[in-house]
């Protein structure tokens, strides 16, 4: 596997757009939180306490730094691996855990796969399993916002495998033609499940794929929070100024499996994994904070322990929630239930159940 080679296509990254020093510790805390939650959720799935999970270990810098550069008013269109983006956006951990478990606190009412969450209040659109569907949606939302005079951008996240999808090419062409204020954020984690990047495309970079559609492409080291932040700040400013979309390729590595249904030991080597573990984005930022005197080893240990404690408390609260009321299957179909659905609901309530409906 080739070494990550931060570079640019068409436009340079603005060096001046580094994360403010006063924000760095907050960024680090968010990255640590993302790692702790991610590891815990993987364990929960193995224990049978949640049904499915998509890990993001190794991609914390790319996700947190990108989300840090956005406005709360910007709309986010995630794939299914953006836990760090969700936490940085401010979505409460218990709300996420409620969705993973599928309990009565789940805003999706148990109707989505675990790890496929979305919350309108946070402008975080529900994830979808088919790859790339969110890309065209992000472009359409950006066009609508511009017509309404809203000074926002939309950001859509996807992986390297998605750059081979129809939606990717349709979305970039659409955005290029209408100059939509959209940021296309590709997390190139080197593997499209079990397919390595070099067997997927002959393009020198994934960012270069935007050139055909008139969309500038930028390649950044996704383990460097400053490089990611700078690229997103520049892309956002450009979009708001009417300069159109940008395709950002953040070169990262998925340290864990593609999902809990995957065994990466079947298709990648330990040598490759260890090579990228040495570039752990959390360790990289920790070293910077230690050198700057913003963090000590003792404070770092306390941070990890307190974060683990907070996650355990949120999990306990989520697991104490009752199951989803089965009567909710009749909700959200019509503003007012039709006579047929009313009849079906009444018939359903008369059925015996091993789990009595809670009122």
Tell me the catalytic residues.
254, 258, 267
3-state secondary structure 286-337: HHHHHHHCCCCHHHHHHHHHHHHHHHHHHHHHHHCCCECCHHHHHCCCCCCC
- How sure is the predictor about 351, in pLDDT bands with cuts at 50, 70 and 90? confident
pLDDT value, residue 356? 55
Mean pLDDT of 176-189: 98
pLDDT value, residue 358? 52
Whether 357 shows a pLDDT value over 60: the answer reads: no
Strand runs labelled E in the chain? 7-8, 75-77, 154-159, 182-188, 191-192, 195-196, 217-221, 246-251
pLDDT value, residue 1? 41
Mean pLDDT of 15-28: 87
Contacts of 47 (CB under 8 A, 6+ apart): none
Whether 303 shows a pLDDT value over 60: the answer reads: yes
pLDDT in tens, 98-133: 999 999 999 999 999 999 999 999 999 999 999 999
Whether 359 shows a pLDDT value over 60: the answer reads: no
Question: Among 140-144, 279-283, 293-297, 351-355, whose mean pLDDT is lowest?
Answer: 351-355
pLDDT value, residue 8? 45
Please give the model's pTM, rounded to 2 decimal places. Answer: 0.92
Contact 222, 29 (CB under 8 A): no
Whether 3 shows a pLDDT value over 70: the answer reads: no
Domains of the chain: 7-319 (3.40.50.970), 325-359 (no CATH)
Contact 251, 221 (CB under 8 A): yes
pLDDT value, residue 11? 46
| CA dist., res. 36 & res. 154, Å (int) | 28
pLDDT in tens, 270-286: 999 999 999 999 999 99
Q: What is the pLDDT of the chain when averaged over all its residues?
A: 93
Q: In the 8-state DSSP scheme, what is residue 358?
A: P
pLDDT value, residue 18? 87
Mean pLDDT of 202-212: 96
43 phi-psi bin (left φ>0, alpha ψ -120 to 50, beta other): alpha
Whether 14 shows a pLDDT value over 90: the answer reads: no
Interhelix angle 21-46/297-319, nearest 10 degrees? 50
């Amino acid at each position: 596997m080739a070494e990550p080679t931060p570079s640019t296509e068409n436009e340079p990254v603005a060096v001046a757009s580094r994360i403010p020093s006063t924000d760095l510790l907050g960024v680090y805390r968010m990255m640590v939180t993302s790692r702790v939650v991610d590891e815990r959720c993987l364990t929960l799935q193995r224990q049978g306490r949640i049904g499915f999970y998509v890990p993001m270990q190794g991609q914390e810098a790319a996700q947190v730094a990108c989300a840090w550069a956005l406005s709360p008013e910007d709309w986010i269109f995630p794939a299914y691996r953006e836990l760090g983006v969700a936490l940085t956006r401010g979505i409460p951990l218990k709300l996420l855990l409620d969705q993973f478990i599928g309990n009565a606190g789940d805003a999706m009412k148990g109707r989505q796969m675990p790890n496929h969450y979305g919350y309108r209040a946070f402008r975080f659109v529900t994830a979808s399993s088919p790859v790339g569907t969110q890309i065209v949606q992000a472009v359409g939302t950006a066009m609508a916002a511009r017509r309404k005079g809203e000074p926002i951008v939309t950001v859509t996240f996807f992986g390297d495998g998605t750059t081979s999808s129809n939606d990717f090419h349709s979305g970039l062409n659409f955005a290029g033609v209408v100059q939509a204020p959209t940021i296309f954020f590709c997390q190139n984690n080197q593997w499209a499940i079990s397919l390595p990047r070099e067997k997927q495309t002959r393009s020198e970079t994934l960012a270069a794929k935007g050139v055909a559609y008139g969309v500038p492409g930028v390649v950044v080291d996704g383990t460097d929070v400053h490089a990611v932040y700078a690229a997103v700040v520049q892309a956002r400013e450009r979009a708001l100024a009417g300069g159109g979309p940008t395709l950002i390729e953040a070169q990262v590595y998925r340290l864990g499996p593609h999902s809990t249904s995957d065994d990466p030991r079947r298709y990648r080597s330990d040598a490759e994994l260890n090579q990228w573990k040495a570039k752990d984005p959390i360790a990289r930022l920790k070293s910077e904070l230690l050198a700057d005197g913003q963090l000590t080893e003792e404070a770092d240990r306390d941070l990890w322990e307190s974060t683990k404690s907070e996650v355990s408390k949120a999990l306990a609260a989520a697991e104490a929630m009752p199951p989803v009321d089965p009567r909710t299957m009749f909700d959200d179909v019509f503003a007012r239930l039709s006579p047929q659905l009313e009849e079906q609901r009444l018939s359903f309530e008369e059925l015996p159940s091993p789990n009595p409906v809670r009122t």
